[in-house]
Amino acid sequence: MGRRNITLTIEYCGIAYCGWQIQSNAPTVQSEMERALSELCGEEIRVTGCSRTDTGVHALEFVLNFYTSSTIPSERFPAAVNSFLPPDIVVRSAREVPEGFHARFDAKYKTYRYFFDIAPCPSAFLSGRVWSVKMPLPGKDPDRDIERSLEELNSAAACFVGTRDFSAFRAEGSNVRSTVRTVTDAKVFLVDSCVLFSSGASDRPLLCFEVRGNGFLYNMVRIMAGTLLDVYKGKLLPSEIPDIIRSKDRTRAGMTAPPDGLYLCKVEYDD
Amino acid sequence: MGRRNITLTIEYCGIAYCGWQIQSNAPTVQSEMERALSELCGEEIRVTGCSRTDTGVHALEFVLNFYTSSTIPSERFPAAVNSFLPPDIVVRSAREVPEGFHARFDAKYKTYRYFFDIAPCPSAFLSGRVWSVKMPLPGKDPDRDIERSLEELNSAAACFVGTRDFSAFRAEGSNVRSTVRTVTDAKVFLVDSCVLFSSGASDRPLLCFEVRGNGFLYNMVRIMAGTLLDVYKGKLLPSEIPDIIRSKDRTRAGMTAPPDGLYLCKVEYDD
């Protein structure tokens, strides 16, 4: 049996990690994965991730691949690798893929979610997991307010859809060949946080920004989230966003939202 | 203005704490509260909690009271105290109460919830927050299985209701005047974990055991939870539980479930 190419779908809570990519002297998800897989397979394993996530960013679905000469059946990998991993990194599934499959180059679309907690009082259970903006909706009719806010936020998010030069939404210091990316979907909706974290499920709705695209520039989703917060606060009109994009001027977009609220949710491949 | 008696309702994630009660050289919720209140009020503050929670146990609603000569209006306390607290302890509300109010002695009923994650693969986001029992329902029709399991678990939980000597559900080494307690309600139901922690809200339902009573012996809820797991596993019939209670024999009840899944949810007072 030759070397097999195995792909794993993992999830991780990024609070304890300096992001995905391996670094010397800092805990990263990649180094944990390589250590666990090397121990399990009895050989030095190097993994290729679908993406680099920053310090504190989370993943509900992150795809990686690696080559191994071990004979462990692929369906056995999740439970076996999990026994070597800390509890904040979990392998959900594994399968054997063709030799040429590459988790990063072959990824066609990625979907991210960014969660804002708008409650006036932050939750003791959501620290590091959402962006607590402590900005409840103003006014006397919270239902109507939230509806109007959602409408505005969705008008703003819709401006991100399309094939555009997103230089205005790219962090300084990053260096890529092209700053053009295609965003296929962008929307904002409310989610119940969790019956675990509140006396009633709908006590504490969270605002969620979901965006799908063929790729994202450095900090692009977090800058979009910071810009949406300006819309939520009434500091920016949705109609100003196309002009901000056209300007290619980073200083005109909103702040870079903290990593806490960002989750890589889905990675799509052809097949 | 004389010394006022103030009550606070707080929530906390217990993962980082050696329980509620102050100890030398160990982080506890009580010591964090006393430090924060003393700094805020500029005087030495001692607090009285409604209950002692163990290492790793959480609270969605925990009530305490303290006396202060500060003139801070009570409605200002939550935001002010929170600015002195770590993010895993949050003050939700505050109010002035009569001089004689005592958070522990005046508590009439407490409600706890215990969460079991039954999914075969644990969640990277629920570590320390639920008991991952990795025990999905057997059989080919998961909907029917879950219904039957819930029925059985509820028959078992119903046996806890009443005024009983709960010695069989009390940890060794505890010393109380009476081992008789009144349980008013006990039930088991499914809750969606959280859209935050799964791709879809109903991906990962959690089993929740909720119990309300006038008081609980040491580890009583966790031993009840361990006993319910035996019912879930088919190792124990609901009809055996009354006999276990009557036996007053700790060795006949189930294991003590880990603290991770336990949440103090509600404390009731007269008025």
Q: Name every chain A residue with its beta carbon within 8 A of the beta carbon of B130.
A: 196
A61, A116, A194, A268: best to mutate for the B interface, most B CBs within 10 A: A194
pLDDT tier at A206 (50, 70, 90 boundaries)?
confident
pLDDT of residue A148: 87
Q: Residue for token digits 């080919």? A: B140
Closest among A6, A10, A147 to A84, alpha carbons compared: A10
CB contact under 8 A, B123 and A89: no
**AA letter at B214:** N
Average pLDDT of every residue of chain B: 91
**AA letter at A22:** I
Size of interface A-B (CB pairs under 8 A): 102
Instruction: Out of A13, A122, A127, name the one closest to residue B125 (CB).
Output: A13
Q: Residue for token digits 């993992």? A: A10
Greatest extent of chain B over all pairs of C-alpha atoms, in Å: 69
The structure's pTM equals 0.90
Smallest CA–CA distance, residue B86 to chain A, in Å, is 9
Supply the DSSP string of A132-156, one letter for each residue: E---PPPSS-HHHHHHHHHHHHHHH
The residue of chain B nearest to residue A111, with distances taken between CA atoms, is B199
Dihedral of CA B5/B6/B11/B16: which sign? negative
Tokens of A40: 């399990």
ipTM score over 0.95, yes or no: no
Active-site entry in A54, A145, A203, A230? A54
Smallest CA–CA distance, residue A106 to chain B, in Å, is 22
CB contact under 8 A, A124 and B12: yes
Fold match flag (B4-97 vs B109-268): yes
Among A138-142, A187-191, B26-30, which stretch is predicted with the lowest mean pLDDT? A138-142
Identify the residue with better confidence: A143 or A128. Answer: A128
pLDDT tier at B199 (50, 70, 90 boundaries)?
very low
What is the mean pLDDT of the segment spanning B12-28?
95
Tokens of A41: 């397979």
Name the residue ranges covered by the structural domains of chain A: 4-97, 110-269
Tokens of A139: 């006014």
Q: Name every chain A residue with its beta carbon within 8 A of the beta carbon of B127.
A: 13, 87-88
B7 phi and psi angles, rounded to 5 deg: -115, 140
CB contact under 8 A, B124 and A11: yes
Q: Is the pLDDT of residue A161 over 70?
A: yes
A241 torsion bin: left (phi>0), alpha (psi -120 to 50), beta (else):
alpha
Tokens of B163: 């005024």
Other CB atoms within 10 A of residue B26 CB: 12
Q: Is the pLDDT of residue B194 over 80?
A: no
Q: Name every chain B residue with its beta carbon within 8 A of the beta carbon of A265.
A: 199
Instruction: Determine the CATH number of domain A110-269.
Output: 3.30.70.660
Taking the CA atoms of residue A119, residue A122, residue A127 and residue A130 in that order, the dihedral angle to the nearest 10 degrees is 10
Tell me the C-alpha distance between A55 and A28, whole Å.
8
Average pLDDT of every residue of chain A: 91
Q: Residue for token digits 């979990």? A: A90
What separation in angstroms does the CA of B226 have from each of A82, B190, B222, B252?
24, 17, 6, 11
Tell me the C-alpha distance between A160 and A158, whole Å.
5
CB contact under 8 A, B194 and A198: no
Instruction: Out of B92, B201, B206, name the one closest to residue A121 (CB).
Output: B92
Tokens of A133: 């903006």
Instruction: Out of A12, A115, A125, name the one closest to residue B13 (CB).
Output: A125
pLDDT tier at A136 (50, 70, 90 boundaries)?
low
What is the mean pLDDT of the segment spanning B128-155?
80
Closest among B16, B58, B64, B30 to B222, alpha carbons compared: B58
Q: Name every chain A residue with its beta carbon within 8 A of the beta carbon of B193.
A: 194, 196
Do residues A90 and A29 make contact, with C-beta atoms less than 8 angstroms apart? no
pLDDT tier at A191 (50, 70, 90 boundaries)?
confident
Instruction: Determine the CATH number of domain B109-268.
Output: 3.30.70.660
Q: Is the pLDDT of residue B201 over 50?
A: no
Smallest CA–CA distance, residue B87 to chain A, in Å, is 6
Smallest CA–CA distance, residue A173 to chain B, in Å, is 31
Q: Which residues of B are catalytic?
A: 54
Alpha helices by DSSP H, chain B: 29-41, 77-82, 142-158, 220-233, 241-247
Query: Selecting from 3.40.50.720, 3.30.2090.10, 3.40.50.150, 3.30.70.580, what CATH number does the domain B4-97 have?
Result: 3.30.70.580
